[in-house]
Chains A and B, each alone.
Chain A
Amino acid sequence: MASIGRRTGIIVTVLIGTWGTVGCSGSSANTPPPATAAKVAEDDDVAAGLLEHHRFHHHGGVTLLIAMSLDTLGISPEHKAAVEKIRTDLHARMEPARSAEQKLVNTLSEGLAAGNIDAAGVDAAVAEVTAAATAVHDASAEAVNELHALLTPPERAALVDKVEAHWAVWQKANSLKADPEHGHLATLAKELGLTQDQVDKVRASLDERLKAVPQLDSQEIAAHLRAFGDAFRSEKFDSKVLTTANGANSHLAGWGAARLAHFVQALSPVLTPDQRTKFAQRLREHAAYNPNDRGES
C-alpha cells in the first residue's frame, strides 16, 4: 500500500510540474511569430531606392536629412498637419540649393547624351551647389526650432535616430570603396549591362579623377550630427547656436555633388550610345526630383 501511495505521489507531482510548464507556454501566445524570410532590407526596393536617392541628392546637406526624416516620423494625427507644414517649409528653404543641384544634373545629363560633357560648366555648377548649401542652415533654423517645439520627446529622439540612419545610408551610397554588390558602379553595371572591361575602365578613371577632390571629412559631419542630436533630444533647443551646421552642410553637399560629377564624367567616354541614352534618362529623372512627391507604400 505504501508503495502505491508513493507512486501516486510521484505521478501527481510530475503532473503538476507538467501542467505548470504547459500552462506557462500557453501564456506566451502573444509571442511574435518567427522571422519570415521576407527580405533583407539591402535587397528590398525601398532600401535600394534610398541608396540611389542619396547618390544623386545632396543639396541641403544635413538639413535635407532632417527634412527626409520627417517623411516617416509617424507623428500623432493632431500634429501631422503642423509637421507637414514645417517639412514643406524646410524644402522651400533648401530650394536655391535644390535648383543648383538640378542645374548640375541637367548639365551632366545633356553632356552625357551628346557625348561631350562641359567640364567647366560642371565645375561651376558644383560650386553653386556648395555655395547654396552654405546658406541652408541659417535659412531653415527657425523652422527646425518650430519643429523641436512641436514634437514630443520620443518623436524628437526618433527624428535623431532617423537622421543618423540617413547619414549612415548616405555614406554607404557614396562610398569610394568598390562594393561589387551594392556599390554605385556595381548597381549601374547591372542596370546598363556594362562589361567587365567597361567597369574596370570607369573604376580606373574615377580613382584618378577623385585624387584631385579633397577627401570627405566624415568626422566633421559626424561631429555636427552628434551636436545636433544631443541638442535636439534635450528640452531646450536653439538651432541658431549650432556652429558646426554651415560647414557640415556645405561639405556634405559640395563633396556629394563633386563625386556625382566625376562619376558621370568617368562613365561618359566608356559607355555605348545606347547605355549613354539610358543613363542620361535616369539623370533627367533625378533632375526632376520633387521632394513633395510622396512615394508611400
Chain B
Amino acid sequence: MSYIIRTNLFRKTACIFALVTSVVVTAGCAMEAGASFPGVAVESYPPDGYVATTEPVYYEGRATYWYGGNWYYRDGNRWSHYDREPPALQQRRVQAAPVRRSYGPAATRRPMANAAGRPQERARRER
C-alpha cells in the first residue's frame, strides 16, 4: 500500500471516528439532560443515624436525603441517588441546610454543623 493511500485511509478513519464520537456524545448528552434525572442504585447511602435524625425533602413522591454531596432515596429494598441533581432539589439545598434533631442529654448538646457528611461504603442491604 502506497504512502498516499495509507494517509487517505487514515484521514477517512479519523474523520468518521470524530463524527461518530460527536454524534454519540451529543445524543447521550441530550438524553441525560432530559427531565427525568435518572437515579442510580448505589453501594453507599446515608447511615441509619443520619436517616433517623434528619428531615427528608419530598421529591417525585419519595423522601430524599441530602448526604455527602448527593440526594439519596429508597428504591424498594435499596438506596439510590440522583446522578445529576434535579434543579428543584438544588434550589431547596441552597435555600436551607437539612434540619436535624439532636437527642443527647440537653447538657451535652453542642451546636451542630448542618453539613451532611460522607456516605459510608457498605454492602448493598436488602430489607
Q: List residues of chain A with CB under 8 Å of any chain B CB.
A: 6, 9-10, 13-14, 16-17, 20-21, 23-24, 27-28, 30-42, 44-53, 68-69, 71-74, 153-155, 157-158, 161-162, 164-166, 168-169, 172, 282, 285-286, 289, 293-297
Contacts and interface: CB of A to CB of B under 8 A. Distances in A.
A13 to B, nearest CB: 4
A24 B26 contact: yes
A40 B118 contact: yes
Interface string B45-65: 011111111111110011100
Interface of B: 8, 11, 14-15, 18-19, 21-23, 25-26, 28-29, 32-33, 46-58, 61-63, 68-71, 74, 84-87, 90, 99-120, 127
Contacts of B25: 17, 20-21, 24
Nearest to B51: A165
A169 to B, nearest CB: 5
A39 B115 contact: yes
Helix, strand, loop or mixed for chain B's interface? mixed
Given A13-B18, A68-B52, A74 B58 contact: yes
Contacts of B22: 13, 16-17, 20-21
Contacts of B21: 17, 21
B111 A17 contact: no
Given A72-B100, A158-B63, A295-B106, A38 B14 contact: no
Given A13-B15, A42-B49, A285 B105 contact: yes
Of the listed residues B26, B46, B103, B114, the one surrounded by the most CB atoms of chain A closer than 10 A to its CB is: B103
Contact of A46 (B49, B56, B119): B49
B87 to A, nearest CB: 6
B104 A45 contact: yes
